[in-house]
Chain A
Amino acid sequence: MSVTYLAIGWNRNKIFYDCVIAAAALLYVSLFIRFVPRAGDGPMIDEPIIRMRAYGSCAFLMLSAILCIGPLARLDARWLPLLYNRRHFGVLTCGVALLHAYHVLGWYFAYSPTDPFVALLSSNQSFARVAGFPFEWLGLFALAMLLVLAATSHDFWLSFLTPPLWKAIHMGVYAAYVAVIGHIALGSMLAARNGALAMIATLSVCAVVPLHLLAARKSLSGGLFRATAQRQGWIAIGDPQSFIEDRGTVIEIPGGERAAVFRHTGKLSAMANACAHQNGPLGEGRVYNGCVTCPWHGFEYRLEDGCAPAPFTEKLATYALRLENGVVWLDTAARPPGTRIEPLELPGDAA
Chain B
Amino acid sequence: MNEPSFFVGYAASLPADTKSFLLKVAAGWVFLMGALALTLSVATDDPGDGHFAGDAVLTGLVTNAPYPVLFLPPDAGHPLGHAVLLAGDGKTGAQSQSLSLEGKRAKASGYMLKRGELDMLVLGAVSAEPAAEPSASFNPAPLGRWRVTGEICDGKCYTGGMRPGTGLAHKACANLCIAGGAPPVFVSAAPVEGSIFLLMAGPDGGPAPQGIADLAGLPVQVEGDIERRGDLLVLKADWARAKEE
Contact = CB atoms under 8 A, between A and B. Distances in A.
Nearest to A111: B90
Given A35-B41, A37-B44, A293-B8, A191 B33 contact: no
Contacts of A57: 36, 40
A44 to B, nearest CB: 6
A84 B10 CA distance: 9
Interface string A131-149: 1101110000000000000
Contact-residue size bin, chain A (C-beta under 8 Å from the other chain):
35 or more
Interface in A105-152: 107-109, 111-114, 119-120, 123-126, 129, 131-132, 134-136
A124 B44 contact: no
Contact of B36 (A39, A190, A200): A200
Interface in B204-230: 213-218
B170 A28 contact: no
Given A27-B30, A49-B164, A44 B47 contact: yes
Nearest to B218: A132
A114 B181 CA distance: 13
Nearest to B10: A298
Contact-residue size bin, chain B (C-beta under 8 Å from the other chain):
35 or more
Contacts of B169: 187-188, 191
Given A13-B12, A23-B30, A32-B40, A188 B7 contact: no
B110 to A, nearest CB: 15
Nearest to A116: B176
B180 A113 contact: yes
Interface stretch (A73-81, A217-225, A227-235, A332-340): A73-81
Contacts of B146: none
A123 B175 contact: yes
Contact of B163 (A8, A49, A111, A295): A49
Contact of A125 (B29, B30, B213, B244): B213
A35 B29 contact: no
A78 B21 contact: yes
A11 interface: yes
Contacts of A84: 9
B4 to A, nearest CB: 5
A173 interface: no
A11 B214 CA distance: 54
A344 interface: no
A136 B175 CA distance: 14
B33 A27 contact: yes
A169 interface: no
B91 interface: yes
Interface in B146-184: 162-164, 167-173, 175-177, 179-180
B14 interface: yes
Contacts of A76: 4
Nearest to B180: A112
B89 to A, nearest CB: 8
Contact of B22 (A25, A30, A78, A193): A78
B139 interface: no
B77 to A, nearest CB: 22
A79 B91 CA distance: 50
A120 B172 contact: yes
Interface in A203-246: none
A101 interface: no
Nearest to B27: A20
A44 B83 CA distance: 27
A1 B9 CA distance: 9
Interface string A1-45: 100000011011100100011011101111111111101100011
B214 A126 contact: yes
Given A49-B164, A123-B213, A125-B214, 9 more contacts: A13-B13, A20-B29, A57-B40, A81-B7, A109-B176, A112-B177, A113-B180, A123-B172, A124-B172
24 contacts: A16-B26, A21-B29, A35-B37, A39-B49, A44-B44, A46-B162, A49-B164, A76-B4, A77-B3, A77-B7, A80-B7, A81-B14, A81-B22, A109-B172, A111-B90, A112-B91, A112-B92, A112-B176, A125-B214, A126-B213, A186-B168, A285-B6, A293-B6, A298-B8
Interface of B: 3-4, 6-14, 17-18, 21-22, 25-26, 29-30, 33-34, 36-47, 49, 51, 89-92, 162-164, 167-173, 175-177, 179-180, 213-218, 244
Interface of A: 1, 8-9, 11-13, 16, 20-21, 23-25, 27-37, 39-40, 44-46, 49, 53-54, 57-58, 61, 65, 76-82, 84, 107-109, 111-114, 119-120, 123-126, 129, 131-132, 134-136, 186-188, 190-194, 196-197, 200, 285-286, 288, 293, 295-298
The 7 closest A-B pairs by CB, nearest first: A196-B43, A111-B90, A84-B9, A298-B9, A31-B37, A112-B91, A298-B8
